[in-house]
């Protein structure tokens, strides 16, 4: 990026970074499925970022200690580099890969570099790249085509504007935001599967505000996807005094979460790989870990979630009832409620509306949760907020040690910004929901505080229209006035028709 006198400007904008990254996707469009090529783009972004940061730190140390050709200076520089939050072997830098872009085995070269990065940073990155193969014939094509694509990818990322050194981008979150921008764009093109790895940022923001994480608290997402919701909750604390925990079943998505945590400098995050329902991995002494805050956007109504094994659950998470085989929503809710602390634990979870009113076993589980005074609020969201589905969703907030036995219902479904592909919530919408939740008072056609007896009378059905009356009376129609308007229109029509007949006669028709 150059200014008028030909010199490079001091900073690079988020929009420029996003544009360059999205352009890099052209290398794969039409030949590789987006669900596959997102991994290659995002991993290359990761390599470019850590390479630029490493170079930035190296340059600063050279300025401090002098010429690295001097043995004393070189040893001091190397000693300091070993204490960095990550280590980047010389042959693994982006520049090293770019210099080898014409190699006949470039895919193999990239794979070996990623393995070396893992080995040098085992505590933070072990296993992250195991699910991606830059030398895959089945995904990237035969050798010649594969080499052309990888060379093009490296050249796209070598754009001088894509300078990701902290001195150029100024703020680490700029890179994390670019990462999430790409995840979001891939989600919008990934259709139904998008929800498996991405939660729209405004929904993450709303959940984070509702559960309100505090310093010193442990925050968990048992279906963490790419980790954006976890990160948003951590950022809400306002300090580094928190710890993050997550579990993700999809291997490539788990890798995205690990890299996303790394890019946001959340090095203490513990992200496990595995099926949360069948095999919860966040354990302590073979017992479920407890957290002050548990949040999630689980897959809606997951089929074959593990019902056949739930009856013998080692952790007794389904003592309120076993959800139906084809709808795993209450399986995730049950897990989440069982993993919050007794004194101040709270849950924020996104659910489809069916969770609010479906009967049978789900109705029994819902009834017990309400009878135990765990349900705190139901927030109805607008339709078409989530990638791959237009159905409206809701956020359920559960809380231990509630001072009252009521439940707050908020109908926020009618307040949103129209988007080209998805609707969006703006700051005004978010602030209104949070203020209403905090005030906990009735708001005409928007919110209602229902006591336990009222919910019981409704047979523990939580369908929001049962509690929040949004009916708008239609304006009374004055039939006499309407008839007078019709008569006037008839008169005008007759006059126009008479004029038309005159014109047609003049024309000889």
Which pLDDT value is given to residue 389? Answer: 67
Number of domains in the chain: 3
Q: Residue 80's CB: how many other CB atoms inside 10 A? A: 15
Q: Over 60: is that where the pLDDT of 282 sits?
A: yes
For residue 193, name the pLDDT band (cuts at 50, 70, 90): very low
Percent of the chain residues past pLDDT 90, beyond the cut: 58
For residue 301, count CB atoms less than 10 angstroms from its CB and return exposed for 0-12, middle for 13-18, buried for 19 or more.
middle
Residue partners of 125: CB distance under 8 A and separation at least 6:
86, 117, 118, 258, 259, 262
Are 222 and 346 part of one and the same domain? yes
Distance CA 225, CA 277 (A): 15
Distance CA 428, CA 167 (A): 34
Residue 462 lies in a domain: yes
Of 40-49, 53-62, 408-417, 474-483, where does mean pLDDT reach its minimum?
Answer: 474-483
Could you tell me the sign of the dihedral formed by the alpha carbons of 293, 362, 254, 27, in that order? Answer: negative
Are 205 and 84 part of one and the same domain? no
Give the residues across from 221 on adjacent strands. Answer: 246
The arithmetic mean of pLDDT across residues 459-469, rounded, is: 95
The CATH number for 240's domain is 3.40.50.150
- pTM as predicted: 0.84
Are 485 and 449 part of one and the same domain? no
| Tokens of residue 199, six digits | 């939660």
62-69 long-range contacts, Cβ below 8 Å, gap at least 24? none
Which pLDDT value is given to residue 25? Answer: 85
Q: The domain containing residue 409 runs over which residues?
A: 192-466
Which pLDDT value is given to residue 18? Answer: 84
The CATH number for 48's domain is 1.20.1260.30
The arithmetic mean of pLDDT across residues 40-47, rounded, is: 90
Q: Over 90: is that where the pLDDT of 348 sits?
A: yes
What's the chain's average pLDDT?
88
The arithmetic mean of pLDDT across residues 488-500, rounded, is: 85
What is the DSSP track for 270-298? EEEES-TTTS---EETTEE--BSEEEE-P
Which pLDDT value is given to residue 173? Answer: 56
Q: Over 90: is that where the pLDDT of 500 sits?
A: no
Q: Where are the alpha helices (DSSP H) in 376-469?
A: 427-439, 452-457
Radius of gyration of the chain (CA): 29
Are 135 and 221 part of one and the same domain? no
For residue 250, count CB atoms less than 10 angstroms from its CB and return exposed for 0-12, middle for 13-18, buried for 19 or more.
middle
| Tokens of residue 16, six digits | 């420029």
For residue 6, name the pLDDT band (cuts at 50, 70, 90): very low
Distance CA 307, CA 317 (A): 12
Of 122-126, 220-224, 242-246, 304-308, where does mean pLDDT reach its minimum?
Answer: 122-126
The arithmetic mean of pLDDT across residues 88-117, rounded, is: 96
- Convert the pLDDT of each residue in 131-181 to its tens digit: 889 999 999 999 999 999 999 999 999 998 888 887 777 654 566 677 667
| DSSP code for 413 | T
Are 461 and 490 part of one and the same domain? no
Beta strand 218-221 pairing with 243-248? parallel
């Amino acid at each position: 990026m150059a200014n008028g006198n030909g010199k490079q400007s001091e900073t690079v904008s988020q929009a420029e970074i996003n544009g360059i990254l999205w352009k890099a996707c052209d290398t794969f469009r039409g030949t590789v499925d987006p669900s596959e090529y997102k991994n290659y783009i995002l991993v290359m972004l990761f390599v470019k970022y850590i390479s630029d940061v490493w170079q930035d730190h190296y340059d600063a140390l050279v300025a401090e200690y002098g010429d690295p050709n001097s043995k004393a200076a070189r040893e001091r520089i190397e000693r300091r580099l070993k204490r960095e939050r990550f280590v980047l072997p010389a042959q693994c830098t982006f520049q090293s890969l770019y210099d080898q872009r014409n190699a006949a085995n470039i895919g193999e070269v990239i794979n070996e570099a990623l393995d070396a990065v893992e080995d040098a940073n085992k505590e933070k990155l072990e296993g992250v790249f195991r699910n991606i193969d830059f030398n895959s014939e089945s995904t990237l094509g035969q050798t010649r085509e594969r080499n052309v694509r990888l060379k093009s990818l490296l050249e796209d990322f070598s754009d001088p504007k894509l300078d990701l050194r902290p001195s150029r981008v100024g703020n680490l979150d700029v890179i994390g935001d670019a990462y999430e921008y790409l995840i979001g764009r891939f989600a919008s093109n990934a259709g139904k599967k998008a929800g498996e790895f991405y939660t729209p940022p405004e929904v993450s923001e709303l959940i984070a505000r509702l559960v309100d994480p505090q310093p010193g608290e442990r925050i968990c997402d048992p279906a963490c996807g790419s980790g954006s919701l976890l990160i948003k909750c951590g950022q809400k604390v306002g300090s580094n005094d928190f710890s993050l925990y997550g579990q993700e079943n999809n291997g490539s998505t788990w890798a995205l979460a690990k890299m996303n945590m790394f890019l946001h400098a959340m090095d203490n995050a513990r992200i496990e790989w595995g099926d949360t329902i069948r095999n919860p991995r966040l354990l302590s002494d073979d017992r479920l870990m407890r957290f002050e805050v548990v949040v999630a956007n689980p897959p809606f109504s997951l089929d074959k979630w593990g019902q056949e094994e739930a009856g013998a659950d080692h952790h007794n998470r389904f003592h309120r009832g076993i959800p139906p085989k084809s709808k795993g929503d209450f399986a995730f809710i049950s897990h989440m409620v069982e993993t919050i602390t007794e004194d101040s634990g709270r849950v924020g979870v996104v659910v489809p509306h069916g969770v609010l009113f479906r009967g049978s076993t789900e109705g029994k589980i819902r009834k017990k949760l309400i009878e135990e005074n765990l349900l705190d609020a139901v927030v109805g969201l607008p339709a078409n907020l989530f990638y791959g589905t237009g159905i409206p969703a809701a956020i359920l907030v559960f809380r231990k040690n509630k001072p009252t036995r009521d439940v707050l219902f908020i109908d926020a479904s009618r307040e949103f910004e129209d988007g080209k592909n998805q609707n969006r919530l703006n700051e005004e919408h978010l602030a209104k929901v949070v203020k209403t939740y905090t005030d906990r008072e009735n708001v005409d056609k928007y919110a209602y505080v229902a006591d336990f007896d009222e919910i019981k009378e409704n047979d523990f059905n939580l369908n929001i229209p049962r509690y929040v009356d949004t009916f708008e009376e239609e304006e009374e129609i004055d039939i006499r006035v309407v008839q007078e308007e019709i008569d006037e229109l008839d008169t005008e029509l007759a006059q126009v028709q008479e004029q038309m007949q005159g014109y047609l006669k003049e024309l000889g028709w």
